[in-house]
C-alpha cells in the first residue's frame, strides 16, 4: 500500500501512489455550512472548502460571499492531487466534469465514500484550456447534493490560450447560474416527493448567480470575459443581453472555438459552459444593462403529454412509479422552463483605456476527428416508459455494460442520439453528458417546430461534453474515446433524470 493510499468505506483503495509527485496538492472538504443569500436568516447549505498544500496559492480561489466551492485554476500538463474529505452525513464522491482522466479518478458512483472517509485523486491535466467544473456524483443523490451547494468551477489554461492575452483579472467574470426555491425561513426547498419533480426535473422560482440574487458587476470600459456555467439541476436558459447586443462566444464545454461566433442569444442546458466576450470600450460610464433568459414556449423543451400526469409520493428515489401515481391535471412549476428571467446587471463604472482586439482565429482544431474511414455507428434512444426515463431502453446498472457499450481505447465512434416520444407523450429535451471525453456534433435532424424557439442558440461547432437533444430530434456525435481503460458514464444531465436511472456505463478496453 503506497504512502498516500487511503481506504474507502467498501475497503477499496483510493489509488494514491507514493511515486506520484504532484505540482499542485489540494485538500477539498465537503460539509455543511451557512450562507447569506436572502435578507434575514442565513440559509443552511452544503459546500466545498479547500486548502492548497503545495503549488501556487492562486490554484484555489474563493468566490467572495458565495456558498459555491473554490475556483480551481490549473494548467495543462500539471500533475494534481486532490484529497477529498467527506464531512457530510451521507456518502459522496466528486466528478471532474469534462476532464479526460483515468476511470478510477473520474468520480464514478461506485467510488462514493462514506462520512468521515477520504478519497485521494491523482491525475495529470491533459485537457485544452477551458471552463470545466466539479460536482458530486453519488447515485440517487447527485441532484440534492448539487442543489444544496456542492459545485465549483475548474479553469484550465494552456500555451495556446495564453498567447491570445484574453481578458483576465478584474476583466474576467465567472457566472454560475442556478435556480433555487426557498421557504419562509430562507431555507432551501428541494423535491416535494412528487413524481413530477423527478420526471420534469426540479425547477426553482428564482435564479442565483454565484450564489447571489441578481448581482451587479461593475466593470471598466474594457473588453471582459464572462465564463458561464449552467449549474442548474434542470433549467434551460436562453441567454441574451437586454439592450440587444449580440453575444460574442469564444468557447464551449471543451475550450476555445476556432473562430468567435456572434448570435442574438445563447441556449445553455444543464452542465454546459460558454465563454463570452463583452466589449465595453465604447460604453458610457454609468451605462447599465442586464443578462437575461429570454422567454420561450415551455413545450420547446418540455412536452409532457396531452393528458398530463400527477404522481404523488411513494416513488422512493425515482426507481419506479410508486403507490401515489394518479391521473389528473399536470402540476406546473411556479417558474417553468421558458419563463422570462433577469439574471444579473452589468454596470460600466469607470473609464479605462484598452487595446484588446479579439483575434479572428482563436484555435486550430486537430482535424483528425473528421477524417479517416467511416466510424462505426451506434444508436442510443432516449425515452420514457413505466415511470422511468431510459437510455437505449435500459436503466442504470452500477457495474455492468452491454457489448454495445464496450469500446476500444483510442477508437472513434458515432453515436446517434434519438429522442423518442414516451408513454402518453412524455417528451423532453435531454442534455446528454459523456464522462472522460469531449466530442463533436456531426448533425441534427428532425427537430419539432416548437424547438426552433431555442435551437438557433445552440453552438455545435466546438468541442462538447454535453449536448442538448431536443424533443423529436436525432443528434449524431463523433467521439474519439479515451486511451484510459475502465468504466465511464453517459447520462442525462437533468440531475433528477440521472438520479432516476437515466444513466449507463460504457467501458473502454
The residue among 292 and 334 whose pLDDT is bigger is: 292
Is residue 112 a contact partner of residue 106, using CB atoms and an 8 Å limit? no
Q: What is the pLDDT of residues 121-139, one digit of tens each?
A: 999 999 999 999 999 999 9
C-alpha cell at 113: 465514500
- Residue 192 confidence class, pLDDT cut points 50, 70, 90: low
Mean pLDDT computed over 263-277: 98
Predicted pLDDT at 369: 61
CA distance 442 to 95: 27
CA distance 73 to 75: 7
Q: Cell 448567480 appears where?
A: 209
Predicted pLDDT at 191: 77
Predicted pLDDT at 385: 85
Is residue 263 a contact partner of residue 456, using CB atoms and an 8 Å limit? yes
Burial level of 340, CB count in 10 A (0-12/13-18/19+)?
exposed
Q: Cell 492531487 appears where?
A: 81
Is residue 292 a contact partner of residue 341, using CB atoms and an 8 Å limit? yes
- Residue 452 confidence class, pLDDT cut points 50, 70, 90: confident
Predicted pLDDT at 493: 98
Identify the weakest region by mean pLDDT among 105-109, 322-326, 442-446: 322-326
Contacts of 453 (CB under 8 A, 6+ apart): 238, 296, 297, 300, 338
Q: What is the pLDDT of residues 459-490, one digit of tens each?
A: 999 999 999 999 989 999 999 999 999 999 99
Predicted pLDDT at 421: 66
Angle, CA of 330, 335 and 340, to the nearest 5° = 130
Q: What mean pLDDT, rounded, does the chain reach?
A: 89
- Residue 448 confidence class, pLDDT cut points 50, 70, 90: low
Q: What is the pLDDT of residues 284-333, one digit of tens each?
A: 999 999 999 999 999 889 876 433 443 433 333 333 333 233 333 445 67
The residue among 384 and 234 whose pLDDT is bigger is: 234
Predicted pLDDT at 449: 67
The backbone torsions φ and ψ at residue 147, rounded to the nearest 5 degrees and listed phi first, read -60, -40
Nearest partner of 279 among 260, 302, 301, 299, judged by Cα: 260
pTM as predicted = 0.92
CA distance 405 to 438: 17
- Left if phi > 0, otherwise alpha if psi is -120 to 50, otherwise beta: which for 442? alpha
Is residue 504 a contact partner of residue 434, using CB atoms and an 8 Å limit? no
Identify the weakest region by mean pLDDT among 269-283, 312-326, 402-416: 312-326
Dihedral (Cα; 310, 313, 316, 319), 10-degree rounding: -10
pLDDT-above-70 percentage for the chain: 87
Q: What is the pLDDT of residues 16-60, one digit of tens each?
A: 666 899 999 999 999 999 999 999 999 999 999 999 999 999 999
CA distance 467 to 458: 9
Mean pLDDT computed over 331-357: 92
Helix (H) or strand (E) holding 497: helix 495-500
Predicted pLDDT at 317: 35
Amino acid at each position: 500500500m503506497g504512502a498516500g493510499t487511503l481506504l474507502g468505506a467498501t475497503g477499496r483503495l483510493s489509488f494514491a501512489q507514493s511515486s506520484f509527485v504532484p505540482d499542485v496538492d489540494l485538500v477539498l472538504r465537503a460539509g455543511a455550512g451557512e450562507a447569506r443569500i436572502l435578507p434575514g436568516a442565513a440559509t443552511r447549505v452544503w459546500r466545498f472548502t479547500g486548502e492548497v498544500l503545495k503549488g501556487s496559492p492562486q490554484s484555489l480561489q474563493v468566490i467572495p460571499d458565495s456558498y459555491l466551492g473554490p475556483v480551481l485554476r490549473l494548467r495543462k500538463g500539471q500533475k494534481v492531487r486532490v484529497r477529498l474529505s467527506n464531512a457530510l452525513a451521507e456518502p459522496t464522491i466528486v466528478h471532474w466534469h469534462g476532464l479526460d482522466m483515468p476511470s478510477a479518478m473520474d468520480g464514478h458512483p461506485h467510488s462514493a465514500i462514506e462520512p468521515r472517509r477520504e478519497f485521494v485523486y491523482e491525475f495529470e491535466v491533459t485537457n485544452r484550456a477551458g471552463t470545466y467544473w466539479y460536482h458530486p456524483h453519488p447515485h440517487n443523490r447527485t441532484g440534492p447534493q448539487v442543489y444544496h451547494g456542492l459545485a465549483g468551477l475548474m479553469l484550465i489554461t494552456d500555451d495556446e490560450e495564453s498567447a491570445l492575452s484574453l481578458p483576465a483579472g478584474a476583466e474576467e467574470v465567472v457566472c454560475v447560474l442556478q435556480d433555487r426555491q426557498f421557504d419562509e425561513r430562507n431555507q432551501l426547498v428541494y423535491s416535494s416527493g412528487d413524481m413530477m419533480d423527478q420526471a420534469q426535473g426540479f425547477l426553482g422560482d428564482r435564479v442565483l448567480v454565484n450564489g447571489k440574487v441578481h448581482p451587479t458587476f461593475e466593470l471598466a470600459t474594457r473588453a471582459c470575459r464572462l465564463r458561464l456555467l449552467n449549474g442548474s439541476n434542470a433549467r434551460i436558459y436562453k441567454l441574451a443581453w437586454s439592450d440587444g447586443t449580440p453575444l460574442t462566444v469564444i468557447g464551449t464545454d471543451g475550450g476555445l472555438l476556432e473562430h468567435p461566433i456572434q448570435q442574438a442569444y445563447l441556449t445553455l442546458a444543464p452542465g454546459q459552459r460558454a465563454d463570452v466576450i463583452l466589449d465595453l470600450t465604447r460604453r458610457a460610464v454609468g451605462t447599465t444593462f442586464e443578462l437575461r433568459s429570454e422567454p420561450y414556449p415551455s413545450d420547446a423543451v418540455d412536452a409532457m403529454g396531452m393528458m398530463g400526469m400527477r404522481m404523488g409520493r411513494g416513488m422512493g428515489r425515482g426507481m419506479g412509479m410508486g403507490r401515489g401515481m394518479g391521473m389528473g391535471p399536470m402540476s406546473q412549476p411556479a417558474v417553468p422552463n421558458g419563463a422570462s428571467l433577469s439574471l444579473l446587471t452589468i454596470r460600466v463604472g469607470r473609464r479605462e483605456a484598452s487595446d484588446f482586439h479579439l483575434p479572428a482565429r482563436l484555435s486550430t482544431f486537430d482535424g483528425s476527428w473528421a477524417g479517416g474511414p467511416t466510424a462505426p455507428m451506434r444508436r442510443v434512444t432516449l425515452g420514457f416508459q413505466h415511470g422511468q426515463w431510459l437510455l437505449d431502453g435500459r436503466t442504470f446498472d452500477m457495474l455492468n455494460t452491454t457489448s454495445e457499450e464496450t469500446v476500444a481505447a483510442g477508437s472513434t465512434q458515432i453515436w446517434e442520439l434519438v429522442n423518442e416520444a414516451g408513454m402518453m407523450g412524455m417528451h423532453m429535451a435531454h442534455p446528454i453528458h459523456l464522462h472522460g471525453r469531449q466530442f463533436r456534433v456531426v448533425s441534427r435532424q428532425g427537430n419539432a417546430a416548437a424547438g426552433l424557439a431555442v435551437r438557433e442558440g445552440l453552438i455545435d461547432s466546438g468541442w462538447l461534453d454535453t449536448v442538448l437533444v431536443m424533443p423529436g430530434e436525432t443528434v449524431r456525435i463523433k467521439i474519439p474515446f479515451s486511451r484510459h481503460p475502465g468504466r465511464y458514464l453517459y447520462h442525462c444531465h437533468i440531475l433528477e433524470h440521472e438520479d432516476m436511472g437515466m444513466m449507463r456505463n460504457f467501458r473502454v478496453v
